[in-house]
A and B are shown apart, each in its own frame.
Chain A
């Protein structure tokens, strides 16, 4: 029986990234995927007629350009095009727009508050400063502060050095930033409720926390540090949907001789004498490998696919306590035409932007209250985009695909599984929210796919359907991600590695965990490194 050098479990973008870099180093690699399609949560699905849905992740900006370049993803069909702006519709019939053009943005903010318009400059600079601090460490393994290995000490000194480079005031500012709530952070700059509400969404997306919860300022940063072609903070669409990302990485993997197997769900990771030897598939088949690399989230990997007796008990307990709470749902909608929004003037560029429907901090926080009560937000935060205004490949001409990310939506309803009626009711809540601002919207709906976190868990496999494979709070970041002592992509069993977003630097279709894991694996195997370094900014 054939023994692979490495078996990668899960063909999402991170699993494929690890697989590609290992294959390019000359390893014999197989990547197994439980579904009959690849991509995990970076996927394009054809679920209705000629429509293509990015039915999980829907925008692309954090994907590391270093990885894109190294794997030559453009040769494998990936093209990311930027789009601009956002709009927040208000209950009084007005709206607040964020425009791509600085001067138009300034005028728009002045419409609400000149104070806030001028404060935007300092806000952007202060936020960008924090981005720069963390960005440098995305494409490297988080150093372990308790370790005396030269590589850890070197990385720690780099972080320390970056920190000490700052002036006193900025050091204080940085430490405060990492623990603050997004609401407090915005309060330091802005006085206008709708402006704060518009900016606060980035602090809670994918996170089971409210805008007033400590740690949400960091989540804002996580959304701010993306880039498209060097334009930090820019967002883009992958042409053809987010599946194009996974497909391109899979192309690079296969071009390097890698083997991809779908409908090959892993039942167990096999451990013999304290070392992994392969995986047992759900269909009973066994695949042998010297290494097993799990792209599944940390809970699914250890609690579902391994025996507790093979794992250290402290580690097992910590994995059980890892926070990976489902907080977001998704509606994917096929539209017969472009909806109009009452508040927007004809020809407004904002139709191309992210649309939101909560105009106050109070409503943002109330939306979270429903989640705490074990149900979906009755007045939900929706991040809605119409990618087909930008991408002609996802719907027939004149027709549109609308992606609605919905916060908050619990993994279970009051502690039990969702019923079909509840899923429908959740979908109706979201559709009603949008229809409040677009009278012709409902009539244009041809098909809607409604996905609760439970559906995402059932279909993709992510525990509780948490989009980041675990929350991005300080206790679960850097050397604490996923659990202390295991933050360098190595599991507690010999030959077992982790490469999913439960690991540093977390989720967001960055492909960084996958790349970092490959670098560590190749170092352990004493193979030449194929993973690129951070481009750096200075």
Chain B
């Protein structure tokens, strides 16, 4: 037997050659074992590609599973808190899944590709748990992260780019819809989904066609301001859209060591994804009890006065004389499109109802010296950024 050895370094995605060619900063980090750019030329400008033109982000390292079999729908329905029987083939659902204690293991998107066939995309890896959950179901779960190359194509001109690529029919695709089209003889799956809160699509294809897809996309997008982006720009857009990120807004429950460090969907503002009308789903009993008893935590979107991002800040009920904090900020950013100082945070109930005022203790540094400011913040209930084009079908040319 010849000695075998797993790859010791970071892996390249099938788009790496193209990203590396556009990269000027050489600023990379690791995402689930893959090399991923923080930024390629300038994170601020990349951010504006999302909001002003078309941004392309390589999301191949995203964990992907294929769920197939006669019981696929029943299986997926038991797995997540949401009613998946309502998600017809050709539709996509955002969903969370919980352990038996009703604590969130992860969130992600579930693509109903065809009858009896789903793709589950998640931030974390769950094969052991997904496999354990198959007992009693005629269903197969296959890990397919490396088998599918994926790109997010996001921004106001993103439909125009796809149209120029030869797919005008995608104009009929509604938000959370998906369609299969032909790309150079291969099946290209296009979903109207994304992590930016803007008009946008995600493209899924076999890895062998990845570079060709990239080239065709950039050729078509040349006149529509297409640009490749890194994680930093995306992170900005994600906060503006009010989307959650694992390890920021919640920790996967199976990884928490200390008690009380996980969150339930009800504590993350995801009541709308929990359907108690379903008789059985993982965590149902605990969540029903929590719904009756009341939750401990609440996720808040904060509009904070001033312009200093509230990174890692404590949240207080009053501007002074506080005995203790009521919570803390989990993600913060200055929003260039809204010209707002925005943040997501977690606070103890009953604090943090929409419209409430809370106070955020912000530390900031100017030329070595640190300053502290107690900033007033208002709890808002809508995403900070929700342009009309995000929902428009067909999308305009912009």
Contacts and interface: CB of A to CB of B under 8 A. Distances in A.
Contact of B254 (A122, A128, A166): A122
A118 B101 contact: no
Interface stretch (B5-13, B205-213, B317-325, B328-336): B5-13
A104 B5 CA distance: 10
Interface in B1-34: 1, 3-8, 10, 30, 32-33
A47 interface: no
Interface string A152-170: 0000000000000111011
A122 B128 contact: yes
Interface residues of A, number: 38
Dominant secondary structure at the A interface: helix
A342 to B, nearest CB: 8
B259 A125 contact: no
Task: Select the residue from B6, B32, B252 with max chain A CB neighbours within 10 A.
Answer: B6
B167 interface: no
A118 B4 CA distance: 21
Contacts of A119: 128
A118 B8 contact: no
A121 B255 contact: yes
A205 B257 CA distance: 26
Contacts of A104: 6-8
Interface in A129-180: 129, 132, 165-167, 169-170
Interface string B127-154: 1110100000000000100000000000
Interface string B111-134: 000000000000001111101000
A110 B129 CA distance: 15
Interface residues on B, range: 20 to 34
A92 interface: yes
B10 A118 contact: no
Given A121-B254, A348-B5, A106 B33 contact: yes
A107 B257 contact: no
Nearest to B103: A167
Given A107-B6, A345-B3, A118 B255 contact: no
Nearest to A92: B1
B293 interface: no
Contacts of A121: 125, 252, 254-255
A107 B259 CA distance: 30
A122 B262 CA distance: 14
B256 interface: yes
B257 A132 contact: yes
Nearest to A110: B6
B263 to A, nearest CB: 13
Task: Select the residue from B3, B131, B258 with max chain A CB neighbours within 10 A.
Answer: B3
Contacts of A527: none
Given A343-B3, A344-B3, A345-B5, A128 B257 contact: yes
A166 B262 CA distance: 12
A533 interface: no
Contacts of B128: 115-116, 118-119, 122, 189
A103 interface: yes
Contacts of A94: 1, 4
Contacts of A343: 1, 3
A125 B4 contact: no
A184 to B, nearest CB: 17
A393 B380 CA distance: 63
A115 B134 CA distance: 13
A428 interface: no
A169 B256 CA distance: 13
A166 to B, nearest CB: 5
Contacts of A342: 3
A117 interface: yes
Contact of A118 (B7, B33, B129): B129
Contacts of B258: 129, 132, 538
A442 interface: no
Interface in A295-354: 342-346, 348-349
Contacts of B7: 104, 107
B3 A103 contact: no
B30 A125 contact: no
Task: Select the residue from A114, A128, A165, A169 with max chain B CB neighbours within 10 A.
Answer: A114
B99 to A, nearest CB: 9
B1 A125 contact: no
B201 to A, nearest CB: 29
Contacts of A169: 100-101
A528 interface: no
A166 B3 contact: no
Nearest to B5: A345
Nearest to A109: B6
Contact of A117 (B3, B127, B254): B127
A241 to B, nearest CB: 30
A147 B279 CA distance: 51
A113 B125 CA distance: 13
A115 B127 contact: yes
Interface in A59-111: 92-94, 99, 101, 103-104, 106-108, 110-111
A196 to B, nearest CB: 14
A106 B30 CA distance: 14
B398 to A, nearest CB: 39
A103 B10 contact: yes
Task: Select the residue from B30, B129, B259 with max chain A CB neighbours within 10 A.
Answer: B259
Interface string A341-372: 01111101100000000000000000000000
A170 B127 contact: no
Interface string B240-279: 0000000000001011111100000000000000000000
A119 B129 CA distance: 8
A349 B8 contact: yes
Contact of A108 (B6, B32, B126, B129): B6
Interface in B62-86: none
Interface in B83-100: 100
A167 B259 contact: yes
A103 B127 contact: no
Interface string A185-198: 00001000000000
Contacts of A128: 257
Contacts of A348: 3, 5
A442 to B, nearest CB: 21
Interface in A219-257: none
A205 to B, nearest CB: 24
A123 to B, nearest CB: 9
Contacts of A122: 128-129, 254-255
B255 A125 contact: yes
B123 to A, nearest CB: 13
A526 to B, nearest CB: 38
A121 B8 CA distance: 20
A92 B3 CA distance: 12
A111 B6 contact: yes
Contacts of B3: 342-346, 348
Contacts of A93: 1
Nearest to A350: B5
B148 to A, nearest CB: 16
B247 to A, nearest CB: 13
Contacts of A125: 254-257
B112 to A, nearest CB: 24
26 contacts: A94-B4, A99-B8, A103-B30, A103-B33, A104-B6, A106-B33, A111-B4, A111-B6, A114-B127, A115-B127, A115-B128, A118-B126, A118-B128, A118-B129, A121-B252, A122-B128, A122-B254, A128-B257, A129-B257, A165-B259, A169-B100, A170-B259, A345-B3, A345-B4, A348-B5, A538-B258
Interface of A: 92-94, 99, 101, 103-104, 106-108, 110-111, 114-119, 121-122, 125, 128-129, 132, 165-167, 169-170, 189, 342-346, 348-349, 538
Given A94-B4, A114-B127, 7 more contacts: A92-B1, A99-B8, A118-B129, A125-B256, A128-B257, A189-B128, A345-B3
Lowest 3 A-B CB distances belong to which pairs?
A: A93-B1, A119-B128, A103-B33
